[in-house]
């Protein structure tokens, strides 16, 4: 019974680039097109992943959802209400429903605050609970939820007295203080040790089930995304180029960029030491101020044909089962495989295999 | 103060303790604070501050007396100042009134005679007074004075002012006539004569002192029974007096210096405190809001920062009566620009932190973020900045006083220096007037500089990595 | 396949002398590095892998100090040489290091050329044209054109900067290059590029690499032999096949780390995690340092001093359970 909770339509965020005098006089203006017409629907109770390399716009999208940044264009609806440009009371209400877990668990909490103060802050801001005692008991309850028990031991500590995993639990506790519906998690485990990562993810999943939360999970790590998310969207240069059920996107990859990402990921299996990784991509990421015409991936695509840069940018097409891809040649590529390649280059290296 | 603040202060203190010159600065500051607190106990003239310009308060001091410890460095010891009260009065009836007699012994064993000896007679009514100085060699010089007045008052008889002719005559009896011809009553040093050996050729030269016990006999003959001699005090205005000597207005410089300490601390600390508080709030607000607000605040800051303070102060003192409070206010108005630049850049850095973003995500208002998240981060820097601005404020006041625009009703180190320079102390070699206040200013500046640098050392690395 | 041993480390001990106590960061470490191989050093934060890297150059970060052991290069113990000798003949000549985040340590105010030349000339007297030739040679080797020399660091991408730093680690032609997390700050595509580069270099130059990372997956694709560190000691040291092959690693810690690593093409119901945190190295646990967190702990694990033993050719483990099998 999945109903949409967050709907983004053509969500756009462009940042103005500072101009020098000459440019001002000439009337030139450049924009960093960080998020460029992004549309998605997130269903209640699901874990939705935003995946991509740095600069693809996933973090910016997260901040747009959090309303830490103003939306330049497009709309955002939460539970049917238009929340694109809201302020005052409506914004306050929105904030209580959408919270964020940040990447660096240490710097996301004021190092001079104790855990108690960190957790008390959202309650103070929104005037939750009628007195300090009520607030404290709520804090204790949440600390138990995130398995930081006994709570009294953790209330008096400062962030630097906690381990990385503990800090992230405290940060999660903070998001829960206001009883949100949506939690945006920006790389929540990338700065945590491997052996503790799964523990944190496990906790997050448990909370989701118990409290009926919806997650927007932002990461660059495809493997973790596969493990944790239900559906995911792959972003490139501000656009979603492939989206669908996690397993489907990763096992039945359609977009050339996603293919390159998958090929680049390392796996802990033997036998790969003496083999050069064949990553089907060329060139470097262009600057976000200078987005290529047509399909923005075309300069790096090994399957690109003329239409890819001459025609309009391809939009997301549903290929079945909710799996969407923005590539005009996806069917051919799926059918022909490597034979569909139009370019020999691969990662700019001269040789493609090693003599053993 | 929450526990968090305490543990942080303790951590700060632990680090501070390890920096040697920080501890030196703190020790010096403690010394200054103690001096201010025990001021009334350690200065011979506790009202120095309020009565600096009151001539009567200093009347019994020598002029330009050197510090007492000068005697340790010279073989020709100076006679120090002294005040000896007589304790025993013999009185008997005599005619229609009474005759009072008292004696004060004065042990003299120095080389350089005092600048003056005054007898202060506390009297009531009319009487005739005779003062006789009996030397150890038996010779004596006396002086008589009649004073007619009702009521209780002080009658002062001073050797330098009143007894020069008597001393001259005394010298004539002893000294070589040839030598006596070249001098007059006005040109001899009457005290050198009193305390000199009765030797031909040596008396007037004044290099052979007659050591021993001198007795000062005071006899008062009153006209009627209502008059009386109440007290007699022998006041020796020595060549050396006090820990730092006196200036040409007979003011005890040690008292003045200690009295000025309190002002130095007030000016320094008050100015820098206000300036830093204003500056920090200004800088944080400017850095946090950014955009138009920041630009506007920057322009205002630049205006204040480019105005030269000294001409303004000169104009102010021409318009208003120079008062120390006006001076402090003016300094505050312009000193606040000091920390703004650095505070603003720190604020810009903090603004980008994750936890500020998190706070905004929670819905925190700007005011909350400013006062609960950003300003507490700047408190350590504020302390360091305060410490470093104190010397500036003190020196400013001293400079203003030096050019004559200071508050003349207060005793500050700057004022003492100003008086010294305008009286030509340097030319006259009155070094004890010039050097101590200068050294005091330097030491206090050093004190705060040390503390400030030590705090900077602790805080800077942290400011950089966060 | 006994290749020549280039680097031998015997009982290396490095301690940090802090106010809170002595942190035994590297505790009697012994291992070999063979010619032309990549030795991966993998472990989580605080295991001592970076510390060991700097120790190999005899450059411990203060308040750390090397208190024991030997580092033999070409038969000569580096720890017995004077600092001047080490600087002149060992560092960068025989062993060099690409530090963690090195690409961010390129000074923003100087061109690449200036910075590379400075490093080059600090170690060797070289006429300008020869220096230039060598710089270009190595830049090409890492896949960068000569034009890069005239650029400033901020004009280059992360991948390019990392390649420059690798070139700098190579151009004095050392025998061993230590790479500390060379791919951590990079995107996954660029990371693949760098990994490919290292493989190429290994073959072309017959340089030996020590590849330090926390990422088990990257090690699998890069290293011939892998050394797993925990709390300053070696838990397991084996070949790529032994650790990542179907039989799986021997040490319980390595096993759990593997189980905690998500796989791209597998549907995993529940990833494993290791409860607890790494131990305080001022007062580490007795016996095996991992025993408080071990899921198959035995009695003697907390009692007896734990040696590193060979359980099959080229495969060393420090675990009592493994010795019994």
Does residue A139 have a pLDDT over 90?
yes
Given a contact as 3+ CB pairs under 8 Å, which chains touch A?
B, C
Q: Note the pLDDT of residue A9.
A: 94
Mean pLDDT of A198-225: 92
Instruction: Using a CB–CB cutoff of 8 Å, tell me whether A103 touches chain B.
Output: yes
CA–centroid distance for B310 within its chain: 24
CA distance A13 to chain C (A): 23
Q: Which residue has the tokens 């040839």?
A: B178
Cα angle, residue C275 at apex, residues C274 and C279 outer, rounded to 5°? 95
Alpha-carbon distances of A8 from A106, A180, A285, C36, rounded to whole Å: 31, 19, 26, 53
CA distance A157 to chain B (A): 10
Q: How far apart (Å, rounded) are the C-alpha atoms in residues A97 and A84?
A: 15
Alpha-carbon distances of C94 from B229, C56, C121, C139, C153, rounded to whole Å: 104, 11, 16, 20, 27
Q: Find residues 184-223 of chain A whose CB sits inside 8 Å of chain C.
A: 193-199, 201-202, 220-223
C221 neighbourhood in chain A, CB within 8 Å:
266-267, 272-273, 277
Residue among C209, C241, C273 with most chain A CBs within 10 A, to mutate: C273
As for the ipTM of the complex, it is 0.86
Instruction: Using a CB–CB cutoff of 8 Å, tell me whether A90 touches chain B.
Output: no
Does residue A349 have a pLDDT over 60?
no
Q: CB-side exposure of B156: number of CA atoms within 13 Å?
A: 12
A56 neighbourhood in chain C, CB within 8 Å:
none
Q: How far apart (Å, rounded) are the C-alpha atoms in residues B300 and C116?
A: 46
Q: What DSSP assignment string belongs to B240-260?
A: B-TTT-B-TT--BHHHHHHHH
Rg of chain C over all Cα atoms, to the nearest angstrom: 20
Task: For residue range A52-79, list pLDDT tens digits in order.
Answer: 998 899 999 999 999 999 999 999 999 9
CA distance A68 to chain B (A): 6
CA distance B312 to chain A (A): 38
CB C48 within 8 A of CB C15: no
Q: Note the pLDDT of residue B5.
A: 65
Q: Note the pLDDT of residue B380.
A: 78
Q: Where are the domains of chain A?
A: 4-236, 261-340
- Encoded tokens for B90: 């013999």
CA distance A222 to chain C (A): 7
Pairing type for strands C315-317 and C309-312 reads antiparallel
B463 neighbourhood in chain A, CB within 8 Å:
none
Phi-psi region of A105 (alpha: psi -120 to 50; beta: other; left: phi over 0): alpha
A331, A185, A315: which is closest to A252 by C-alpha? A331
A125 neighbourhood in chain B, CB within 8 Å:
362-365, 368
CA–centroid distance for B98 within its chain: 45
B354 neighbourhood in chain A, CB within 8 Å:
102-104, 107-108
Contacts of B184 (CB under 8 A, 6+ apart): B168
Given a contact as 3+ CB pairs under 8 Å, which chains touch B?
A
Q: Note the pLDDT of residue A355.
A: 34
Instruction: Using a CB–CB cutoff of 8 Å, tell me whether C205 touches chain A.
Output: no
C274 neighbourhood in chain A, CB within 8 Å:
195-196
Cα angle, residue C312 at apex, residues C306 and C316 outer, rounded to 5°? 35
Q: Which residue has the tokens 């981060």?
A: B377
The CA-based dihedral angle spanning residues C198, C203, C204, C207, taken in that order and rounded to the nearest 10 degrees: 70
Q: Note the pLDDT of residue C41.
A: 95
A227 neighbourhood in chain C, CB within 8 Å:
262, 268, 271
Task: For residue range B438-464, list pLDDT tens digits in order.
Answer: 898 888 888 888 888 787 777 665 444
A269 neighbourhood in chain C, CB within 8 Å:
220, 244
- The CATH-assigned architecture of domain A4-236 is 3-Layer(aba) Sandwich (3.40)
Judged by average pLDDT, the poorest of A153-157, B113-117, B391-395, C258-262 is: B391-395
Mean pLDDT of C64-75: 86
Does residue C300 have a pLDDT over 80?
yes
C49, C51, C68: which is closest to C230 by C-alpha? C49
For residue B362, give the nearest of A117, A121, A158 by CB distance.
A121
Instruction: Using a CB–CB cutoff of 8 Å, tell me whether B377 touches chain A.
Output: yes
Confidence of residue A347 (pLDDT cuts 50, 70, 90): low
Q: Which residue has the tokens 């400033």?
A: C152
Q: Note the pLDDT of residue B463.
A: 44
- Encoded tokens for C19: 């106010």
Q: How far apart (Å, rounded) are the C-alpha atoms in residues B114 and B133?
A: 15
CB B464 within 8 A of CB B347: no
CA–centroid distance for A118 within its chain: 25
Question: What residue ranges define each of the domains in chain B, with the CATH number in brackets?
Answer: 3-48+252-465 (1.10.3720.10), 68-237 (2.60.120.230)
Residue among C47, C271, C314 with most chain A CBs within 10 A, to mutate: C271
Share of chain C above pLDDT 90, in %: 21
For residue B355, give the nearest of A92, A107, A158 by CB distance.
A107
CB A105 within 8 A of CB A73: no
Confidence of residue A257 (pLDDT cuts 50, 70, 90): very high
Q: CB-side exposure of B50: number of CA atoms within 13 Å?
A: 3
Q: Note the pLDDT of residue C102.
A: 77
Q: How far apart (Å, rounded) are the C-alpha atoms in residues B176 and B205?
A: 11
H, E, C per residue of chain A: CCCEEEEEEEEEEEEECCCCHHHHHHCCCCEEEEEEEEEEEEECCCEEEEECCCCCCHHHHHHHHHCCCCCCEEEEEECCEECCCCCHHHHHHHHHHEEEECCCCCCCCCCCCCHHHHHHHHHHHCCCCCCHHHHHHHHHHHHHHCCCCCHHHHHCCCHHHCCHHHHHHHHHHHHHCCCCCEEEEECCCCCCCHHHHHHHHHHHHHHHHHHCCEEEEEECCHHHHHHHCCEEEEEECCEEEEEEEHHHHHHCCCCHHHHHHHHHCCCCCCCCCCCCCCCCCCCCCCCCCCCCCCCCCHHHCCCCCHHHHHCCCCCCEECCCCCEECCCCHHHHHHHHHHHCCCCCCCCCCCCCCCC
Instruction: Using a CB–CB cutoff of 8 Å, tell me whether A160 touches chain C.
Output: no
Q: CB-side exposure of C205: number of CA atoms within 13 Å?
A: 24
Q: How far apart (Å, rounded) are the C-alpha atoms in residues B109 and B122?
A: 28
B373 neighbourhood in chain A, CB within 8 Å:
110
Alpha-carbon distances of B260 from A161, B253, B266, C98, rounded to whole Å: 49, 10, 10, 62
| Subunit contact B362:A68, Cβ cutoff 8 A | no
Sign of CA dihedral B50, B56, B61, B63: positive
Q: Is the link from the previous residue into A150 a cis peptide, with omega within 30 of 0?
A: yes
Confidence of residue A217 (pLDDT cuts 50, 70, 90): very high
pLDDT by residue, tens only, chain B of 466 residues: 456 567 767 777 877 787 888 888 889 989 988 988 888 888 888 887 778 888 888 887 888 888 888 888 888 888 888 888 887 788 888 777 888 888 889 888 888 888 888 888 888 888 888 889 998 888 888 888 888 877 888 888 888 888 888 888 888 888 777 777 787 777 888 888 888 888 777 777 767 888 889 899 988 888 787 888 888 888 888 888 888 888 888 888 898 888 888 888 888 888 888 999 999 999 999 999 888 889 899 999 999 889 888 788 777 777 877 777 877 888 888 888 888 988 998 899 888 888 999 999 898 989 899 888 988 888 878 888 888 888 888 888 888 777 777 777 788 888 888 888 888 888 888 888 999 988 988 888 888 888 887 877 776 654 443 3
Domain C5-94+174-263+271-324 has CATH 3.40.50.300: yes
CA distance C192 to chain A (A): 5
Q: In what order do the strands lie in the sheet with C21-34?
A: C21-34, C5-18, C64-73, C76-77
Residue among B295, B358, B359, B380 with most chain A CBs within 10 A, to mutate: B358
Instruction: Using a CB–CB cutoff of 8 Å, tell me whether A349 touches chain C.
Output: yes
Q: How far apart (Å, rounded) are the C-alpha atoms in residues B177 and B174?
A: 9
Q: At what angle do helices B20-37 and B253-289 cross, to 10 degrees?
A: 130
Q: Note the pLDDT of residue B4.
A: 59
Q: CB-side exposure of B240: number of CA atoms within 13 Å?
A: 18
Q: How far apart (Å, rounded) are the C-alpha atoms in residues B65 and B114?
A: 9
- Burial class, B1, CB count within 10 angstroms (exposed 0-12 / middle 13-18 / buried 19+): exposed
For residue A125, give the nearest of B8, B362, B376 by CB distance.
B362
C116, C108, C126: which is closest to C166 by C-alpha? C116
Q: Note the pLDDT of residue B466.
A: 31
| Subunit contact B358:A108, Cβ cutoff 8 A | yes
Q: Where are the domains of chain C?
A: 5-94+174-263+271-324
Chain A residue with the nearest C-alpha to that of B373:
A110
Cα angle, residue B359 at apex, residues B355 and B364 outer, rounded to 5°? 155
């Amino acid at each position: 019974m999945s109903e949409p909770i967050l709907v983004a339509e053509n969500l756009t965020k462009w940042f103005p680039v500072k101009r020098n005098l000459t440019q001002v006089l000439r009337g030139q203006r450049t924009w960093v097109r960080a998020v460029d017409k992004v549309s998605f629907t997130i269903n209640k109770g699901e874990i939705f992943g935003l995946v991509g390399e740095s600069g693809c716009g996933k973090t910016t999208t997260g901040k747009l959802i959090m309303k830490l940044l103003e939306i330049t264009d497009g709309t955002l609806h939460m539970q049917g209400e238009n929340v694109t440009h809201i302020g005052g009371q409506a914004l306050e209400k929105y904030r209580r429903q959408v919270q964020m877990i940040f990447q660096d668990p240490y710097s996301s909490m004021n190092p001079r605050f104790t855990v108690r103060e960190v957790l008390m802050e959202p309650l103070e801001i929104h005037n939750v609970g009628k007195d300090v005692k009520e607030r404290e008991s709520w804090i204790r309850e949440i600390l138990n939820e995130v398995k930081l028990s006994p709570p009294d031991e953790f209330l008096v500590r400062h962030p630097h007295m906690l381990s990385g995993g503990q800090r992230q639990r405290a940060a999660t506790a903070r998001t829960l203080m206001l009883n949100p519906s949506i939690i945006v998690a920006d790389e929540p485990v990338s700065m945590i040790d491997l052996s503790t990562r799964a523990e944190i993810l496990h906790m997050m999943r448990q909370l989701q089930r118990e409290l009926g939360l919806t997650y927007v999970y932002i990461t660059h790590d495809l493997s973790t995304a596969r493990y944790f998310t239900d559906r995911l969207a792959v972003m490139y240069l501000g656009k979603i180029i492939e989206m669908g059920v996690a397993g489907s996107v990763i096992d039945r990859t359609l977009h050339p960029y996603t293919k390159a990402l998958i090929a680049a990921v390392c796996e802990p299996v033997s036998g790969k030491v003496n083999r050069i990784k064949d990553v089907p991509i060329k060139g470097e990421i262009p600057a976000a101020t200078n987005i290529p015409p047509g399909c923005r991936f075309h300069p790096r695509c090994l399957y690109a044909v003329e239409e890819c840069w001459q025609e309009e940018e391809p939009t997301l097409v549903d290929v079945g089962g909710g799996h969407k891809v923005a590539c005009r040649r996806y069917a051919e590529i799926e059918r022909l495989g490597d034979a569909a390649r139009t370019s020999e280059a691969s990662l700019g290296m001269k040789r493609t295999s090693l003599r053993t | 103060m929450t526990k968090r603040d305490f543990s942080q202060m303790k951590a700060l203190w632990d680090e501070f303790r390890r920096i040697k010159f920080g501890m030196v600065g703190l020790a010096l500051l403690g010394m200054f604070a103690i001096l201010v607190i025990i001021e009334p106990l350690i200065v011979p003239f506790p009202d120095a501050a309020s009565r600096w310009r009151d001539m009567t308060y200093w009347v019994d001091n020598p002029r330009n007396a050197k510090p007492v410890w000068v005697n340790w460095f010279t073989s020709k010891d100076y006679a120090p100042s002294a005040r000896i009260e007589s304790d025993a009065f013999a009185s008997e009836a005599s005619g229609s009134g009474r005759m009072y007699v008292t004696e004060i012994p004065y042990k003299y064993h120095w080389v350089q005679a005092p600048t003056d000896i005054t007898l202060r007679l506390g009297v009531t009514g009319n009487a005739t007074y005779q003062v006789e100085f009996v030397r150890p060699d038996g010779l004596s010089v006396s002086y008589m004075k009649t004073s007619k007045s009702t009521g209780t008052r002080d009658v002062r008889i001073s050797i330098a002012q009143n007894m020069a002719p008597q001393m001259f005559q005394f010298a004539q009896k002893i000294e070589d006539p040839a030598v006596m011809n070249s001098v007059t009553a006005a040109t001899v040093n009457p005290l050198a004569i009193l305390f000199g050996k009765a030797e031909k050729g040596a008396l007037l030269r004044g290099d052979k002192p007659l050591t021993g016990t001198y007795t000062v006999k005071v006899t008062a003959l009153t006209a009627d029974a209502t008059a009386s001699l109440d007290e007699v005090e022998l006041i020796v205005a020595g060549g050396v007096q006090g820990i730092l000597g006196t200036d040409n207005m007979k003011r005890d410089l040690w008292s003045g210096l200690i009295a000025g300490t309190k002002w130095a601390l007030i000016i320094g600390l008050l100015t820098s405190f206000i300036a830093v508080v204003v500056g920090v709030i200004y800088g944080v607000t400017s850095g946090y809001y950014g955009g138009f607000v920041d630009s506007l605040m920057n322009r205002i800051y630049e205006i204040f920062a480019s105005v030269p303070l000294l001409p303004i102060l000169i104009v102010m003192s021409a318009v208003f009566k120079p008062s120390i409070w006006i001076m402090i206010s003016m300094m505050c108005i312009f000193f606040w620009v000091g920390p703004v630049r650095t505070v603003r850049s720190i604020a810009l850095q903090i603004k980008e932190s994750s936890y500020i973003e998190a706070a905004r995500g929670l819905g925190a208002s700007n005011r909350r973020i400013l006062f609960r998240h950003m300003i507490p981060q700047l408190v350590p820097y504020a302390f360091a900045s305060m410490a470093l601005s104190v010397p500036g404020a003190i020196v400013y006041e001293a400079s203003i006083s030096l050019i004559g625009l200071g508050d003349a009703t207060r005793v500050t180190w700057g004022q003492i220096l100003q008086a010294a320079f305008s009286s030509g102390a340097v030319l006259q070699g009155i070094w004890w007037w010039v050097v101590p206040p200068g050294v005091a200013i330097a030491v206090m500046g050093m004190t705060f500089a040390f503390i400030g640098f030590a705090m900077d050392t602790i805080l800077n690395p942290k400011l950089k990595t966060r | 396949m006994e290749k020549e041993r280039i680097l031998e480390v015997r009982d290396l001990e490095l301690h940090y002398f802090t106010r809170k106590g002595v942190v035994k960061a590297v505790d009697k470490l012994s291992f070999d590095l063979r010619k032309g191989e990549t030795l991966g050093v993998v472990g989580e934060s605080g295991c001592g892998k970076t510390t060991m890297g700097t120790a190999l150059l005899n450059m411990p970060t203060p308040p750390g100090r090397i208190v024991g052991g030997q580092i033999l290069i070409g038969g000569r113990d580096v720890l017995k040489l004077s600092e001047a000798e080490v600087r002149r003949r060992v560092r960068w000549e025989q062993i060099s290091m690409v530090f963690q985040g090195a690409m961010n340590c390129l000074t923003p105010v100087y061109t690449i050329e200036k910075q590379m030349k400075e490093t080059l000339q600090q170690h060797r007297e070289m006429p300008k044209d020869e220096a230039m030739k060598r710089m270009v040679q190595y830049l090409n080797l890492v896949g960068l054109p000569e034009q890069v020399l005239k650029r400033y660091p901020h004009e280059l991408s992360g991948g390019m900067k990392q390649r420059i730093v690798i070139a700098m680690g190579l151009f004095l032609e050392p025998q061993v290059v230590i790479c500390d997390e060379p791919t951590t700050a990079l995107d996954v595509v660029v990371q693949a590029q760098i990994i490919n580069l290292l493989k190429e270099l290994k073959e072309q130059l017959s340089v030996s690499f020590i590849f330090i990372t926390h990422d088990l997956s990257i090690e699998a694709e890069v290293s011939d032999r892998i050394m797993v560190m925990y709390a300053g000691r070696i838990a397991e040291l084996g070949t790529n096949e032994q650790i990542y092959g179907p039989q799986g690693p021997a040490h319980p810690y390595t096993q759990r780390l593997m189980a905690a690593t998500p796989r791209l093409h597998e549907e995993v119901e529940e990833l494993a995690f290791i409860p607890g945190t790494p131990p305080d190295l001022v007062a580490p646990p007795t016996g095996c340092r991992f025993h408080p967190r071990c899921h198959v702990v035995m009695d003697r694990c907390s009692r007896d001093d734990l040696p590193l033993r060979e359980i099959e050719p080229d495969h060393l483990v420090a675990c009592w359970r493994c010795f019994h099998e």
